[in-house]
Amino acid sequence: MTLTSTPAAAIAPAAIGPASRGSRRGRPRGRHLIRLILHIIVVLFMVVWFTPVLGLFVNSFRTQSNIGNSGWWNALIAPLFTGYNYQQALQVIGLGPSLGTSLAIAIPATVLTTFISAIGAFALTRMSFAGRTVLSLALVALMVTPPQVTLVPLLKLFDVTGLYGTIPALWLYMVGFTVPFGVFLVRGFIGSIPDELFESARIDGASDFRIFRSVVLPLSAPVLAALAIMQFLWAWNDLLTPLIFLGGTSVAQPLTVNVAGLVTATGQGEAQLMAATVISILIPLIVIISMQRYFVRGVLGGAVKG
């Protein structure tokens, strides 16, 4: 009687094969379930965010009596819309001059902030010069300084220098208090660029300006776009700064100031206010929707280093 021994290597796959295959089949199911839960959460957040915007847009086309008697969702069942609110709002806020002032404030402030932040971040990250550490600490200190505490001193300074009541005064204020954050954001992104790219450029004889123009700017486009979006929204939606530096002057007030005083000026109720609000948020909404992918890539890219 001969006993044949079966090798352990031949038994092991048969013994553990089904269990391992079952565990592998279970992993995709668990991942699909997690993705489904995440998608449901994202959809819920989208619904919560979009519902007030939809209600604002619908009510801006309804009469004041309809707004007071029924909710905005009733307009989806029995639509009864009018453009009278927009006509009245445009006459009161003066769309042309107000829109021009808002654009004259937001666009130059956005361009200056993005450009100066890119230069400062590159200098603090890739260039060696005396006082770099002190300058970095000063930027951090400016980030934690509330801008509101400087309003009165700057107001006196602008009055003495003749900048009070001018749009460049707003540029100086907005750019000055946003550049520290912009340098901090862009610096983390530039620090994540591999050193081999800079070494290769220097071996080829590229200067610091050429490296900044040909290497840093193209690679930093996502984070610069994210910074530009944030600065544009801050400058466009700012109410306090234009109210202080442009109040009581002959310069046309931006949309935020005119919309804030619309109810007091007209006494017509919230219907015209909603129409004016839709007008004021239309351009920022277009900017966010059209450039949201750059915003996400830029923020995530500048959040970590390496």
Tell me: do 169 and 298 sit in the same domain: yes
Tell me: do 52 and 129 sit in the same domain: no
> Given 77, 109, 129, which residue is the final one in a domain?
77
Tell me, yes or no, whether 1 lies in a domain: no
Tell me, yes or no, whether 172 lies in a domain: yes
One-letter identity of residue 131: G
Cα atoms in the Cβ-side hemisphere of radius 13 Å centred on 108: 13
Tell me, yes or no, whether 59 lies in a domain: yes
Tell me: do 54 and 139 sit in the same domain: no
Look at the chain and report how many structural domains it folds into. 2
Q: Tell me what pLDDT residue 113 has.
A: 94
Tell me: do 145 and 272 sit in the same domain: yes
Tell me: do 146 and 257 sit in the same domain: yes
Q: Tell me what pLDDT residue 109 has.
A: 94
Nearest to 169 by CA among 155, 180, 181: 155
Residue 231 and residue 114 in contact, taking contact as beta carbons nearer than 8 Å: yes
Tell me: do 227 and 267 sit in the same domain: yes
Instruction: Say which DSSP state 144 is in.
Output: T
Tell me, yes or no, whether 61 lies in a domain: yes
Segments of the chain with pLDDT less than 70: 1-28, 78, 92-94, 263-269, 294-306
Tell me, yes or no, whether 156 lies in a domain: yes
Tell me: do 153 and 298 sit in the same domain: yes
Structural domain range at position 260 = 91-303
> Given 42, 77, 112, which residue is the final one in a domain?
77
Residue 187 and residue 121 in contact, taking contact as beta carbons nearer than 8 Å: yes
Tell me: do 228 and 287 sit in the same domain: yes
Domain with residue 243: its CATH number is: 1.10.3720.10
Tell me: do 126 and 44 sit in the same domain: no
Q: Which residue's entry shows tokens 């619309």? A: 262
Residue 85 and residue 71 in contact, taking contact as beta carbons nearer than 8 Å: no
Tell me, yes or no, whether 158 lies in a domain: yes
Residue 246 and residue 253 in contact, taking contact as beta carbons nearer than 8 Å: yes
pLDDT, tens digit (0-9, with 9 covering 90-100), for 111-169: 999 999 999 888 888 877 777 778 888 887 777 878 888 888 888 898 898 888 889 99
Q: Tell me what pLDDT residue 115 has.
A: 93
Backbone angles phi, psi at 192, to 5 degrees: -85, -5
Backbone angles phi, psi at 25, to 5 degrees: -70, -25
Q: CA-to-CA distance for 277 and 58, rounded, in angstroms?
A: 12
Q: CA-to-CA distance for 93 and 99, rounded, in angstroms?
A: 9
Tell me: do 119 and 17 sit in the same domain: no
Q: Tell me what pLDDT residue 267 has.
A: 55
Cα atoms in the Cβ-side hemisphere of radius 13 Å centred on 73: 2
Contacts of 1 (CB under 8 A, 6+ apart): none
Tell me: do 53 and 104 sit in the same domain: no
Tell me, yes or no, whether 131 lies in a domain: yes
Q: Tell me what pLDDT residue 305 has.
A: 46
The pTM (predicted TM-score) of the whole model is 0.75
Q: CA-to-CA distance for 294 and 7, rounded, in angstroms?
A: 59
- The residue count of the chain comes to 306
> 221: which 2 tokens?
């486009």
> Given 54, 77, 100, which residue is the final one in a domain?
77
Tell me: do 185 and 288 sit in the same domain: yes
Tell me, yes or no, whether 3 lies in a domain: no
